[in-house]
Structure 1
Amino acid sequence: MLLAIDVGNTNMTFAAFSGRSLVKEWRIATSNSRTAEEYGVWLSQAMALDGLKLYDIKDVIIGTVVPGALFNLKGLCKRYFRCTPLVIGEDNVEIGMVPQIDNPKEAGADRLVDAVAAHSKYGGPTIVIDFGTATTLDVVDEDGNYAGGIIAPGVNLSLDALHSAAAKLPRIAVERPSKVIGKNTLECMQSGIYWGYISMVEGLVARMQEEYGTKLTTVATGGLAPLLARGTDIIDHIDRDLTLTGLVEIYHKNN
């Protein structure tokens, strides 16, 4: 089996694949200080609960936006899987497309991997909307190349900023409010976050399509994608496993 590891700023996802079929996935909070041994103990226990063993894993591919986590993940692969992982962004890994931006090295691994997955599953041109730590909107052109995009603060970052900077504003969960015009602090905050982000995404997608000159298929990913997609018709597809799909596609391009 293949183990695909997606390292985000907030969470890491470990997913076992047989061919291109997802077998099981597990999540853990992202940390730079977690050792290879700690990963090994946690992952062996998580896999055992699903009837899997560490020795079932034969190959590993890693996509990370947290460089500090990579050393110990490579140690995990060497010690427990007896393999050298493919790492997105390293010179020996072919992703199958050319970033059409000023400095290709600036493109985050997650954004490139999502572009590969979006073109593989939905064709092009496409806008990938990732509701993660940051909210990103990225264009994938007709040939599957990453063509640039937009980075905005993520939903939870905005909530943290409101709570931290305004003494009387509480920490709240992201929910769809029943009305746009709130009648109390909680409703006002929920409306501002929920409808505010939907309005932002709708406006940005419209401007991106106008600038690109044609209709672009929109694909949303990230944990909040299903909730936010219920408030707009601008999103054509919801794909929470988009990054994992891209990692698997890149693995097969290199094998």
Structure 2
Amino acid sequence: MLLAIDAGNTNVVFALFDGDEIKARWRIATDARRTADEYVVWLRQLLELNALDLDAVNAVIIGTVVPRALHNLTVLSEKYFGVTPLVAGRGAAEWGIALDVEQPDTVGADRVLNVIAAHDTYKQDIVIIDFGTATTFDVADYAGAYKGGVIAPGINLSLDALVGKTAQLPRIALESPETDSVIGTTTESQMLIGIFWGYVAMIEGLVARTKTQIGRPTKIIATGGLAVLFDEHTDVFDHLESDLTLRGLLILYQRATKT
């Protein structure tokens, strides 16, 4: 089985693929100092819960936006799974798509993986909105070339900044507003309106501007943990793809090992 590892700024996601099917997925908080030994203690227990052991893994691919995490994940692969991992964007796992931007080396691995996976399904112009630590908008053309995008603060970062930089505003839970009203009558409701509906307005506004700039029919793909929350309150998304980054890792692995 293939172990695909997506190391993001907030969490590291481990997904076990049996062919094209995800058999299990697990996440752990990102900590670049976490050793291979710590990872394997955690992973061994989770594998056992799925009636599997370490020998079930015979291949590993890693995508990371946290460079310092790569070493220990590589050691994990080599020491405990007995394989040299593929690293997304390097060597045999080169992207295989054009990065049509001024600084291609600075594009996050997760963003390229999302484009690869989305274009594999939707052979047209696409915009991918990934709701992670940051909210990113990524544009790819009908040929699959990455054309650029937008980086905005994630909604939780925005909420943390609002609470952390004010003296009297309370911490509130991020949730769907009870009504569509944008006139709050309490401090808490006004904060939620500003954060939530302000974010929806940003999404809709940026999508509208991007579509106008592209000038061709464009699919809007949403991914990331909070995509479902926003999908309930806007019709801007054409598709939700919760495992887009992991699917990108699978596609890269399959291309790299194709004989």
> Would you call these one fold, judging by a TM-score over 0.5?
yes
| Cα deviation, residue 88, structure 1 | 1.3
Indicate the residue corresponding to 1:120 in structure 2: 120
Alignment partners' CA distance in 1, 2:231 and 2:193: 15
Unaligned runs of 5+ in 1: none
Indicate the residue corresponding to 2:82 in structure 1: 82
Indicate the residue corresponding to 1:232 in structure 2: 234
Alignment partners' CA distance in 2, 1:172 and 1:14: 30
- The runs of 4+ residues in structure 1 deviating greater than 6 Å are none
Alignment partners' CA distance in 1, 2:118 and 2:31: 28
Indicate the residue corresponding to 1:20 in structure 2: 20
| Cα deviation, residue 121, structure 1 | 1.9
Alignment partners' CA distance in 1, 2:102 and 2:35: 36
Indicate the residue corresponding to 1:134 in structure 2: 134
Alignment partners' CA distance in 2, 1:123 and 1:60: 28
| Cα deviation, residue 51, structure 1 | 1.2
Alignment partners' CA distance in 1, 2:70 and 2:173: 31
Indicate the residue corresponding to 2:254 in structure 1: 252
Secondary structure at 1:198's aligned position in 2? helix
Deviations 1:141-200 (A, max 9, x none): 101111110001110100110110012111222112123211111111111111111100
Aligned-residue RMSD, C-alpha: 0.9
User: Which amino acid letter does the alignment assign opposite residue 143 of structure 1?
Assistant: A
Unaligned runs of 5+ in 2: none
Indicate the residue corresponding to 2:110 in structure 1: 110
| Cα deviation, residue 251, structure 1 | 0.5
User: Which amino acid letter does the alignment assign opposite residue 9 of structure 2?
Assistant: N
Of 208-217 and 73-82, the range deviating more from structure 2? 208-217
Deviations 1:96-149 (A, max 9, x none): 211111121011000000000110122221000001000100001101111110
Deviations 1:61-89 (A, max 9, x none): 00100001110000000111101111113
User: Which amino acid letter does the alignment assign opposite residue 95 of structure 2?
Assistant: I
Secondary structure at 1:183's aligned position in 2? coil
**How many residues get paired?**
255
| Cα deviation, residue 90, structure 1 | 2.0
> Percent identity, aligned pairs only?
52
Residue 92 of structure 2 contacts residue 256 of structure 2 at CA under 8 Å; is this kept in 1? no
Residue 113 of structure 2 contacts residue 245 of structure 2 at CA under 8 Å; is this kept in 1? yes
TM (norm. structure 1) is: 0.98
Secondary structure at 2:135's aligned position in 1? strand
Indicate the residue corresponding to 2:96 in structure 1: 96
Alignment partners' CA distance in 1, 2:194 and 2:121: 33
Indicate the residue corresponding to 1:183 in structure 2: 185
Indicate the residue corresponding to 2:73 in structure 1: 73
Alignment partners' CA distance in 1, 2:182 and 2:53: 50
| Cα deviation, residue 94, structure 1 | 2.4
Alignment partners' CA distance in 2, 1:203 and 1:241: 25
Residue 96 of structure 1 contacts residue 253 of structure 1 at CA under 8 Å; is this kept in 2? no
User: Which amino acid letter does the alignment assign opposite residue 244 of structure 1?
Assistant: L
